[in-house]
Structure 1
């Protein structure tokens, strides 16, 4: 199997191993970064789908994970507003019940 792939790519065995390792590292890094952005987001995974196409893209995860926090009082309740740093739009507001 490796010989067939090496012939098809016309690469020496050492270069093929390095290219495969690099591809695995890049893909692993991509998914780790994506997972970290989803983990630190204030929104649930389903709410991160901003364009409602059924999946969360890397761009959506990046947009949601760059957020700021503002606390305020509304009718005697302590509230926390999460907003996007990119454009200041509100992502989520959470208020504690009295």
Structure 2
């Protein structure tokens, strides 16, 4: 097999691996059940593809702040809060 043939197969394999990775990350994000507005981690008003894909690494716990019921989203890797949303 020529070098260009091997390079072509490597490119196809890399593309396949990337698509598989993105598919698995998407399933993990969708499995959380967060709404699009919930996944706006930086609170800029838009949920980017990066924020959507990172949703698989974010957990949610119920908290209370000033006698209000809140949802606190946190990172699984260090359990630090990402954002807190309190119901009115």
Give TM-score scaled by structure 1 length.
Answer: 0.49
Q: Report the counterpart of residue 25 of structure 1 in structure 2.
A: 16
Q: RMSD over aligned Cα, in angstroms?
A: 3.5
Structure 1's unaligned 5+ residue stretches are 1-9
Number of corresponding residues: 79
Higher-Rg structure is 1
Q: Report the counterpart of residue 58 of structure 2 in structure 1.
A: 66
Q: Report the counterpart of residue 83 of structure 1 in structure 2.
A: 73
Name the CA distance, whole Å, in 1 between partners of 2:22 and 2:48: 13
Structure 1 stretches of 4+ moved >3 Å? 79-82, 89-94
Give TM-score scaled by structure 2 length.
Answer: 0.52
